[in-house]
Structure 1
Amino acid sequence: MADKEREKCLKKAKKVHEYNFVYDTIEVVVSLTAGFTAGSAALVGWGLDSIIEVISASTLWWRLKGELEGISSEKVEKRKKITLYVIASSFLIVSAFITYDSVTKLIKEETADWSTMGIVILIVSLVINPILIWYKYRYGNRLDSEALKADAKDTFVCLYQTVAVLGGLLAVRYLGWWWVDPVAALLIVPYALKEGWEAFRNGRRITYNG
């Protein structure tokens, strides 16, 4: 890829992550507020996954900004490595919390309350996240960036969880299945751990001097 074309892709990828950061910050605030208010493990877990999105968007913006500013190739590689490690660590932390919260609610047989606010943000995310995934994969492939591809997978995790959480809340509301909410939250854990491990492995492969 020519230098000018790469610079153009870097700028566009950076802009995508700026939009991603703004939207996911809103998503975190709304989902956690709704989740804790309704006592929904699924909504809280979904909100925590959105925090990973905020972290990923921030670290990737930092990595892309560095390359655009012309920092050395060694520093670019270092930022790539840090970005992937941040993503991997975030997946692990969120997986641990979701597991603890969901198992606790299953043991106590706690039922989530209905949350209109939660339903609205879930539906909005069903529209926004596929768009973000498409752009992240596009620029990840064009820039040959494992960090961008990992972040796209992170957003896909969020999309997958959105469907599970939305289905869980509707099942609790209309079918009275109290256990669906924590189970819906647990469904995301295996996939999140898998993607976290992959991000960690990709980070380990990156080498640099200095």
Structure 2
Amino acid sequence: MKNQHRKKDLKIARKIQVYNIIYDIIEVVVSLIAGFTSGSAALIGWGLDSVIEVVSASTLWWRLNGEIEGIEDNKVRKREKITLFVIAGSFLLVSGYITYDSITKLINENTPNWSTLGIIILLVSLVVNPILIYYKRKYGKKLDSKELLADSKDTFICLYQTVAVLGGLLAVRYLGWWWADPVAALLIVPYALKEGWGAFKNGRNISSDT
């Protein structure tokens, strides 16, 4: 009975990752179009962050699917280790890009143009991402899945970055604060590095031996 409940929860968690992948692909396409047409480095960076989200969610789907298919325990642990390393690497890449992009914008005093399409996808993400975070945490706790919980934190960073980019664009538009976006984005970096290191340590502590 316990195994049946776990398998049911695994299937729901896998479905959540599918929804996550589909939505993040939409985010990537829309935000990059909006970013390149408006000249907004923030929107382009946000779109590239969504690419990393797609990779992370796809890797986690692979790990969950393996357990559902009944692969050996050592192979499940191996997939858990790989998933956590991918998540850790994603945090590192996000931190590096945000730092580079934000400092470059501060030095060059770049001011993005207004993008209605960009604002729309940012507002939609403010609704979608909290829902994804809630269910990832819920099933991460039910399944005692460190990698699913780590992925929920990755999505939280995406949500935080969404707020920062949206706030920056609105501040530039209505207050003339060209520096607001890069400064807000830089606040993400310490949190991202901390969670990335945590995911790396959890992955390193998993043994894939029989």
Query: Which TM class, normalised by the smaller chain length?
Result: over 0.9
Paired position in structure 2 for 1:104: 104
> By how many angstroms is 1:162 displaced?
1.1
Paired position in structure 2 for 1:178: 178
> By how many angstroms is 1:191 displaced?
1.5
Equivalents in 1 of 2:201, 2:186: separation in Å?
24
> By how many angstroms is 1:31 displaced?
1.3
Moved more, 166-175 or 85-94: 85-94
Q: Is 1:141 aligned to 2:141, yes or no?
A: yes
Q: Determine if contact 1:14/1:64 at 8 Å carries over to the other structure.
A: yes
| 2:65 aligned partner, one-letter code | K
Equivalents in 2 of 1:123, 1:108: separation in Å?
27
Q: Determine if contact 1:40/1:181 at 8 Å carries over to the other structure.
A: no
The alignment of Structure 1 onto Structure 2 pairs a total of residues equal to 210
Paired position in structure 1 for 2:129: 129
Identity value in percent: 72
* Structure 2: gaps (5+ residues): none
> By how many angstroms is 1:192 displaced?
1.3
Equivalents in 2 of 1:127, 1:137: separation in Å?
16
| 1:126 aligned partner, one-letter code | L
Deviations 1:25-63 (A, max 9, x none): 110111122223323232223222212221111001100
Equivalents in 2 of 1:33, 1:193: separation in Å?
28
Paired position in structure 2 for 1:65: 65
Output the aligned Cα RMSD.
Answer: 1.3
Query: TM-score, normalised to structure 1's length?
Result: 0.96
Query: TM-score, normalised to structure 2's length?
Result: 0.96
Matches within 5 A, 1:152-163: 152-163=152-163
* Structure 1: gaps (5+ residues): none
Which contiguous aligned blocks of 4+ residues in structure 1 show a shift greater than 3 angstroms? none
Moved more, 181-190 or 161-170: 181-190
Deviations 1:112-161 (A, max 9, x none): 11111110000000110111011100110000000000001111111111
Paired position in structure 2 for 1:4: 4
Moved more, 86-95 or 180-189: 180-189
| 1:186 aligned partner, one-letter code | L
Equivalents in 2 of 1:140, 1:66: separation in Å?
16
